[in-house]
């Protein structure tokens, strides 16, 4: 297996820069998830690593080997494509054996590898069927199996779960994570689904407009987003944002916005460094789970609570999403299912500013 390193990698299509100065070090055996909205350059980055697309600028290493000029077949990489296409007229077995046949792997070794991969993926009973006689999830596993049999140093997976229904996705997500543990291979997995990124990755690379926004463990990215894009993209329901001004009164710092003034507790991690931001505009970010139902949380001081108008109560079973507003400011709170909040009625919410995120409204960078 091998590490993968990108140094200052960029890609132009004509005058259009679709990947810009990507620097990434993926250690051997790591499961990295690249996540970002449609068109941000995820597939293009994978295709450059696979050698299917030229690199306009920068260097790509697999292990210690500079691969910029090495053809795809010699890179020891297997890619599962976004629109994985199995050969419809071939059996599952033939689909999985295809790449090995092309590489002149002897039949006995091919058979052993195909059966081992099929066992790993639970498709050993379908080896004689054609793809059309399989469910979507089974087809998906065969597509992954085609990559596994090649025993590559690096797996590249481009949204391999996007064609599956919600339940199968969750199941395949767990299966791919288990598979990674068993194969001990380096995997780069691309998705636009932040839940997949959070649940599967050892580390996450968040991209936007061809640029890396942040690289980190899922928890680090969730807890300490570097900018408003990352903060809003990772997490569901998304983080609430609100324009505000920081004020100081005596020794205390307050976040004041349209119709509210909330104290920032001294335990807020960046408190000591806020001096330069007093009397300046900031963006306050607060995740839905950091807004509580005040009735259920008497521990909040009155100054941390505000009356909101609740527009829609979304019951999820284990929890409830309250969609509401304070003045013009819309917000989502994620509260216990015991809440008495009702559609169209006012309800008191408690704001846990210890978990507040503050951003520079000009650069969108986090203030810490
Ligand atoms: N061969 C090409 N020629 C010109 N432009 C291209 C080409 N391939 C991709 N692009 C453009 O490059 C940008 C990045 O595309 P890419 O396929 O890498 O995005 P993506 O992040 O994988 O998106 P998605 O989530 O929709 O798959 C897009 O704006 C796309 O239109
Ligand atoms: Mg893509």
Query: pLDDT under 50 in the chain at which residues?
Result: none
Question: How many Cα atoms occupy the beta-carbon half-sphere of 272 within 13 Å?
Answer: 1
Judged by its nearest atom, the ligand closest to the C-alpha of residue 14 is: 1
- Per DSSP, helices labelled H in 103-154 are 107-121, 136-148
Question: What does pTM read for this prediction?
Answer: 0.92
pLDDT at 169: 83
pLDDT at 179: 86
CATH 2.40.50.140 residue ranges in the chain? 240-367
> Residue 315 to residues 203, 320, 337, 342: CA-CA distances in angstroms?
32, 5, 7, 11
Which CATH fold topology does 4-233 show? Rossmann fold (3.40.50)
Ligand 1 atom closest to Cα of residue 13: 4
Binding-site residues, ligand 1, Cβ < 6 A: 13, 18, 36, 38-44, 82, 192
- 288 C-alpha vs ligand 2 centroid, how far in Å? 29
Q: Are 332 and 240 in contact (CB under 8 A)?
A: yes
Q: Are 239 and 285 in contact (CB under 8 A)?
A: yes
pLDDT at 163: 73
Query: Which protein residue's CA is at the shortest distance from atom 3 of ligand 1?
Result: 13
Q: Are 148 and 178 in contact (CB under 8 A)?
A: no
Residue closest to 68 by CA, chosen among 79, 78, 57? 57
Judged by its nearest atom, the ligand closest to the C-alpha of residue 40 is: 1
> Residue 62 to residues 9, 250, 275: CA-CA distances in angstroms?
14, 57, 46
Query: Which protein residue's CA is at the shortest distance from atom 31 of ligand 1?
Result: 39
pLDDT at 250: 86
How do beta strands 366-367 and 357-359 pair?
antiparallel
Residue 87 host element (H or E): none
| Residue matched to tokens 């199995």 | 86
- Give the E-state strand segments of 217-345 in sequence order: 240-249, 252-257, 260-264, 281-286, 291-293, 305-315, 319-326, 329-336
Query: Which protein residue's CA is at the shortest distance from atom 19 of ligand 1?
Result: 39
| Architecture label for domain 240-367 | Beta Barrel (2.40)
Judged by its nearest atom, the ligand closest to the C-alpha of residue 36 is: 1
Query: Which protein residue's CA is at the shortest distance from atom 2 of ligand 1?
Result: 13
Ligand 1 atom closest to Cα of residue 40: 21
Query: Which protein residue's CA is at the shortest distance from atom 29 of ligand 1?
Result: 39
- 44 C-alpha vs ligand 1 centroid, how far in Å? 6
| Residue matched to tokens 């007093």 | 278
Candidate from 34, 37, 41 with most ligand 1 atoms within 8 A of CB, to mutate = 41
CATH 3.40.50.300 residue ranges in the chain? 4-233
pLDDT at 1: 64
**Helix 166-183 vs helix 107-121: angle between axes, to the nearest 10 degrees?**
130
pLDDT at 324: 97
């Amino acid at each position: 297996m091998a590490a993968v390193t990108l140094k200052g990698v960029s890609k132009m299509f004509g005058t259009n820069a679709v990947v810009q100065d990507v620097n990434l070090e993926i250690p051997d055996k790591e499961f990295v998830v690249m996540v970002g909205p449609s068109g941000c350059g995820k597939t293009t980055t994978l295709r450059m690593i696979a050698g299917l697309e030229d690199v306009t600028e920068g260097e790509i290493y697999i292990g210690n080997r500079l691969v910029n000029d090495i053809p795809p077949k010699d890179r020891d990489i297997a890619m599962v494509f976004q629109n994985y296409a199995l050969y419809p007229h071939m059996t599952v077995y033939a689909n999985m054996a295809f790449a090995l046949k092309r590489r002149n792997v002897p039949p006995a070794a091919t058979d052993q590898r195909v059966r081992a991969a099929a066992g790993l993926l639970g498709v050993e009973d379908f080896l004689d069927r054609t793809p059309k006689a399989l469910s979507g999830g089974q087809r998906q596993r065969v597509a992954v199996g085609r990559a596994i049999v090649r025993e590559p140093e690096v797996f590249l997976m481009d949204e391999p779960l996007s064609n599956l229904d919600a339940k199968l996705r969750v199941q395949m997500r767990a299966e791919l994570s288990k598979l990674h543990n068993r194969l001990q291979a380096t995997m780069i997995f691309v998705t636009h689904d932040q839940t997949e990124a959070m649940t599967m990755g050892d580390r996450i690379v968040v991209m936007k407009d061809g640029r890396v926004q942040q690289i980190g463990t899922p928890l680090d990215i969730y807890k300490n987003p570097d900018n408003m894009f990352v903060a809003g993209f990772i997490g569901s329901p998304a983080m609430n944002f609100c324009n505000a001004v920081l004020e100081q009164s005596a020794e205390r710092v307050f976040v004041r916005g349209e119709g509210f003034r909330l104290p920032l507790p001294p335990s807020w991690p960046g408190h000591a460094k806020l001096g330069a931001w007093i009397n300046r505009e900031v963006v306050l970010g607060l995740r839905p789970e950091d807004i509580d139902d005040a009735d259920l949380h008497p521990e909040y001081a009155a100054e941390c609570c505000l009356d909101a108008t609740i527009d829609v109560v979304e019951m999820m079973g284990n929890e409830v999403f309250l969609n509401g507003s304070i003045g013009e400011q819309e917000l989502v709170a994620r509260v216990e299912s015991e809440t008495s909040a009702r559609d169209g009625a006012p309800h008191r919410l408690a704001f846990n500013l210890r978990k507040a995120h503050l951003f520079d409204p000009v650069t969108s960078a986090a203030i810490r």
